[in-house]
Structures are given as structure tokens and as C-alpha cells.
Amino acid sequence: MNIKSFLEKKKSGEPLTMLTAYDYTQTVWCCAAGIDAILVGDSLGNVIQGKGTTLSVTLDEMIYHTEIVTRIAKQKCDAKSRPLVVADMTFPFGHTGIEDGVAQAARVIKVTGCDAVKVETTWEDAPLISALVKAGIPVMAHIGLRPQQILNLGKFSIQKAEKALLKDADAVADAGAFSVVLECVDADLAEKITRQVPIPTIGIGSGAGCDGQILVVTDLLGMDPDFVPKHARQYATLAQTAIDAIKGYVSDVKMRKFP
């Protein structure tokens, strides 16, 4: 998968599949399952580091995880079947100047070898997107609920501001973004945005009308026994499977049945 073939999915009407991944094992699973794209998300702050927000995730941490995912994706898949790998840019990316933003994103691309970066945006960030694209850095925009703005938002909720979100979507597309994530956008509005913009929309908690969907891999696999986001669907319950297995090991050791 490359940027061109990613864009062609919208034209053909074939839904795009995307998951987050953060390490060797998750990347192997995604590649074996034939996923179209992997996001190395700053959600690693939540699901890997166990923190309440993504705000403390550093650029160096993103580079560390993205290099692993990109390298393994290239090792495990041929060029045609390899998923597109996208790296999240961390808070407060885009708010320290365009020149600094381009330098940070270029570092991510150069060090990790990933295919693109994802940037939480509004229409006001169009100049930054244009500068990144001009520098040769493909950009996946992210509008709607933006977790890096949680201190201003106060809580996570469905985004319904139609005029503002349509403006955001048009602006990022016009600036050169090759796709846009719609997070927790009202389903009818997300479908309207999808019809309006020429680039693929990737929904998370935004209904079935988007060009593709993304989930956090640990949510999909049921790896947290205590939390499942409202918008997620568990396709497995690996947490309970792992807990049961470890309990079996503990019991066997104590009963001198292992080794």
C-alpha cells in the first residue's frame, strides 16, 4: 500500500481497514491479517504506558515505536501487500511554528522510514499541512474529537458542529492532506463530510459512512480487562485468555507439575 493506492480506494469504493500497532507482535498480526494501514498512535500513552491522556508522549517515544512497526512491516510483507505505516505527531505539534513542525515531521520520516504522519488539525492548520506536503511529507489529517485538546475540551463527546467540521475537512483536503481521520463525529455529519471531500475519510466512532475505519488494536483484541471504549467492538478477549493461561502456569508451578 502506498499513498496513491490508498487514494484509489476511495474512487473504487472499497472500504479501507486501519488499526493502531505499537510493537513487533502487533505488527506481525496486522500484516498476517492483511490490514491496509497501521497507525502508530500517540494512544500508546494510554494503552502501552497506562496514562490518562496522550499529552506526555514524546517525539522520541513515537520514533522508537514507529521504527519497530515500519521495519517489521517491511520484513513481513512484500511491497504490494505491505500496509501503509503512519506515525502520530505528538502534542503540541503544529503550535511551535511551521518551520519547527516540518523539522519534527522530517525527523520522524528519516529515522523511522514510515510512509506518512498524522496531525490533529483544524482549518487554521492548513498552512502547516501545505508546508509538510511541499517538503515531501504525506499528511493524514485528524479532525473532530482531538485527544491532544482534552484540557480544553474537558471530556470526550460526539462532535456535531457541522459548519466548523465541514470547513475543517475542506481546508485539510485543499492543503494537500491525502486522507482525514474523523474521530467521534456525528455519523450523519461524517457521511456528509465523506461525500464532500475528495480524499479518504477514516472513521473512529463516526459511523459506517466513512471511506474506512480505524480501531485501537488493544480494544479490538480485548487486551484490557477493565475498559472498552463505547465506539469499539471486541473481536476477541485476549486479556481473559492470557490471565487464565498465567493462572494455569502459577498453579502448575506451585503443584510441581511444571516443568
Supply the residues annotated as catalytic.
183
What is d(CA 159, CA 128) in angstroms, rounded to the nearest whole number?
Answer: 23
Cβ neighbours for 49, distance < 8 A, ≥ 6 positions apart: 56, 57
- 3-state SS string over the chain? CCHHHHHHHHHHCCCEEEEECCCHHHHHHHHHHCCCEEEECCCHHHHCCCCCCCCCCCHHHHHHHHHHHHHHHHHHCCCCCCCEEEEECCCCCCCCCHHHHHHHHHHHHHHHCCCEEEEECCHHHHHHHHHHHHCCCCEEEEEECCHHHHHHHCCCCCECCHHHHHHHHHHHHHHCCCEEEEECECHHHHHHHHHHCCCCEEEECCCCCCCEEEECHHHHCCCCCCCCCCCCCCCCCHHHHHHHHHHHHHHHHHCCCCC
Instruction: Determine the residue type at 242.
Output: A
Q: CA 127, CA 159: separation in Å to the nearest integer? A: 24
Amino acid making up residue 166? L
